Amino acid sequence: MDFSFSLIELGLMILLFIVAGLSVKQVSNKWRVLYAAPTFFALTLVILDGFDYFHFALYLGAALQIVALFFGLGKVKQKRALAIASAAMIIVHMVIISICPGYHRLPIYDDFEKAFNTLKNHYVLAEEKGIDFDELYAKYDPLFKKIDREQDYIENYKVWQQFTREFYDGHVGYHMTSGGLVLMAFCESYGNDYGLSLARLSSGEFVAINVEGYDNSYSIDSTEHDDLQFYTVKGSLQPEDAEANRLTLKNAGIKNGTVITKWNGKSIDEYYDEVTYYVGPYPDKENEEFDLPIYVAGMGKDMNYGDTYVPGKDVESKSGGRITDNPTVDITYIDESGEEQTVTAPSLGIYAPRMYDTMNKLYDGVNVTNLTWQEINSETYMLRISEMAYDEQTYTGSDYSEMTDKLRDEILGLKESGVKKLVFDLRSNGGGSPYFVEGIAQLFAPEGEHLTYYSAVINEETATYERDENGKYKMGVPSSYVGEDLWHDGEVILLVNSRTVSAGDDMTYMMGSFPNVKIIGLTKSNSSCQAVTSVHGMEFGSLSFSAVPNLLPDGEIAIDTYTDHVGRTPFDEKIPFTQECVTAVFDNGEDYLLNYAAND
């Protein structure tokens, strides 16, 4: 982009050199607009790319043309001299950005230093989670220094994911802010696609899921349902024979639900210790273990976790050599006759799109507008709650009475029509306002006042939250609501998963204690509840983290996991992950979990 703007500016200077003479022959105030154009384009560059001192010569060259606006009609030589001077500055600018080693250098280490210090000073769960910042710094400082020297943005993404995993907190996350680099880093961080994902059934067996070549599975040539726009890059990351090899597993008889006994000669759970980072955080260890097989499926023969081979770019092998050809994996499985077989599957490209699609199939909720009701059967209705937000006007405030009044009328109407069960679909609920949660919970809570959370006492001088002699945060002002018990004789199911986070966890906690509410899911909710903030001003990324404590009435930290990494949100029933579930989700495209909740 910077070179494009430089060429535009240089072209304008050539044009202004010519115009200096034409403006005398054809007198018009419209020529003044042309002299303002270089400054306009320079300001556009600042808006799009930010102020950069490496662009100083370009900024100055463009600004010089403003001076020409005040020259009279006869000042042709002066105008041309300014055009030449500006052109010279732009050429100098182009030379600088071409040869200067510091230009557009990614501030990887500077970002780490700034984010780490902010996190160390303001993260509120360090004691509860046993975080040793000195130990973390000793571990990650040399890694980020090395990445900074090598300017490896892919490795930067990987190490940040490792770093944030150390906190087991759904609110701690790193986000790269450079659009194209984010996608490429994601694509090259999760290994290669061998035509399937992996999962562990509740019975303990590992099975193939989302297998290439079946109608409802992800396909390497698909551009549908691709909200991350993998299709814009994945073609260039595929081997030339990907299409010819795409039915390798199907031809071998592997389908969704086929039992996989070995991966390159080892049991799949033997790879767990090698998986050092994830797409997102898993505060609850049990939720983490459920997803581990999905990550293992990207690991090729003699390859380290996360290493991704793309055509023309070799990677280091576990044995220390280099992998320069398309990698493979040996998959041992049980065929239809009950015999153990092994097939060598070649890489079909990058694994990230299939992994992402697999997780969406498992974890996405009903794809309808937030707070939309849907009939499941004559006695059961579902309310989709994908985020704890009603509208832009109420989101930043605490008055959700309009939403509560609307839901109250709808709930009473359903009750009058004979509906007996309500299912709240909280799957992949990304959180939002706690007042939204209270606005719904009050309709179902037993009559009377209900305390939710206490704030913590802040020391205004140090801008930190105070702890008492026992190391607990001092309790401040409580929040509460008054229950209406509108559904006293009916049943409420909250359908959750590991992506039900923050205010989604709040609703699970608040309503989980009601006598007629049941919490179920393929996994528990995330278990992250503290208020969150972000480090802004980092040049290459931002870091979100828990920064404001929420306390339970007994003074304990609300919901978040401690050093045992065990979730503390209510959870009544784990939906069994069975062959029936695999078939329904990955072959038939059914919402098995919602149907289970409705019929539970």
Q: Which helix (H) or strand (E) holds 550?
A: strand 550-551
What φ, ψ does residue 549 adopt, rounded to 5°?
Answer: -70, 140
**What is the structure's pLDDT at 546?**
94
**What is the structure's pLDDT at 442?**
97
Whole-angstrom distance, CA of residue 384 vs CA of residue 379: 17
Angle at 169 between CA 539 and CA 518, to 5 degrees: 135
Whole-angstrom distance, CA of residue 507 vs CA of residue 569: 10
**What is the structure's pLDDT at 48?**
67
**pLDDT exceeding 70 applies to what percent of the chain?**
94
Question: What mean pLDDT comes out for the span 432-447?
Answer: 96
Distances in whole angstroms, Cα of residue 169 to Cα of each of 128, 173, 377, 518, 552: 11, 8, 38, 25, 18
Lowest mean per-residue pLDDT among 83-97, 211-225, 249-263: 83-97
Distances in whole angstroms, Cα of residue 567 to Cα of each of 232, 275, 372, 576: 38, 21, 29, 19
The strand pair at 573-574 and 517-521 is best described as: parallel
What φ, ψ does residue 459 adopt, rounded to 5°?
Answer: -90, 110
The secondary structure of 90-159 as a DSSP string is HHHHHHHHHH-TTTT---HHHHHHHHHHHHHHH-TTTTTTT--HHHHHHHHHHHHHHHHHHT-HHHHHHH
**What is the structure's pLDDT at 393?**
77
Residue 72 · residue 64 · CB < 8 Å: no
418: Cα within 13 Å, side-chain hemisphere: 3
Partner residues linked to 191 by β-bridges: none
For residue range 172-191, list pLDDT tens digits in order. Answer: 999 988 767 889 999 999 99
The strand pair at 458-459 and 464-465 is best described as: antiparallel
For residue range 133-165, list pLDDT tens digits in order. Answer: 999 999 999 999 999 888 899 999 999 999 999
The residue type found at 317 is S
Lowest mean per-residue pLDDT among 34-48, 131-145, 254-268, 565-579: 34-48
Please indicate whether residue 51 or residue 283 has the higher confidence score (pLDDT): 283
At 379, the pLDDT band (50, 70, 90 cuts) reads: very high
**Biggest alpha carbon distance in the chain?**
95
For residue range 266-323, list pLDDT tens digits in order. Answer: 999 999 999 999 999 999 999 999 999 999 999 999 999 999 999 988 898 888 889 9
Taking the whole predicted model, whether its pTM rises above 0.95 is answered as no
Neighbours of 587 (CB within 10 A): 17
**What is the structure's pLDDT at 51?**
72
Q: Give the list of residues 6+ apart from residue 550 with CB closer than 8 angstroms, or none.
A: 453, 454, 455, 456, 529, 530, 531, 557, 558, 559
